[in-house]
Amino acid sequence: MGDGVTARNQWVCRSSALGAGPSDLTRALLGSTLLPAFGGLAIGTAVAVVAWKGTEALVYGVPPMYAAPMAQIVTGVFGVVIAAVLPAVVRAIRADPVRALKEL
């Protein structure tokens, strides 16, 4: 697997060559990337809320957690994850499967 060919590239090439359409590739690539990212985001948000509540109870003067800033942070991270995944999805959809298989 030299020359920068990854297992994911091989999978995309094989799937395209066997008839996977753009929607199938998009769904598979987004699902395999977004599920762990958003799982981590959900766990991180829950831990942050619990830690903030604990700090609020232990330390005098800590302001309450507001939902708007937390929603902005979650939305920002969501945007970064989507922006990181989209170029790979577009590249996979536009790739020529026959040419890619020849390069394997």
Q: Give per-residue pLDDT as tens, 62-103.
A: 788 888 888 899 899 989 998 988 888 888 788 777 776 776
pLDDT more than 70, % of the chain: 91
How far is 32 from 29, CA to CA, in rounded Å?
5
The band of 31, judged by pLDDT with boundaries at 50, 70 and 90, is confident
How far is 91 from 71, CA to CA, in rounded Å?
31
What's the Cα-to-Cα distance from 79 to each of 14, 18, 24, 59, 104, rounded to whole Å? Answer: 30, 32, 22, 33, 33
Q: State residue 44 phi and psi, 5-degree precision.
A: -65, -40
Is the pLDDT confidence value at 40 over 80?
yes
**Do 34 and 85 touch, CB atoms closer than 8 A?**
yes
Q: What single string gives the DSSP state of each residue in 32-62?
A: HHHHHHHHHHHHHHHHHHHHHHHHHHHSTTP
Q: Where are the domains of the chain?
A: 22-95
Read off the pTM. 0.69
Residue 19 pLDDT: 82
Residue 1 pLDDT: 43
**Do 78 and 86 touch, CB atoms closer than 8 A?**
no
**Do 16 and 97 touch, CB atoms closer than 8 A?**
yes
Residue 64 pLDDT: 81
Residue 5 pLDDT: 59
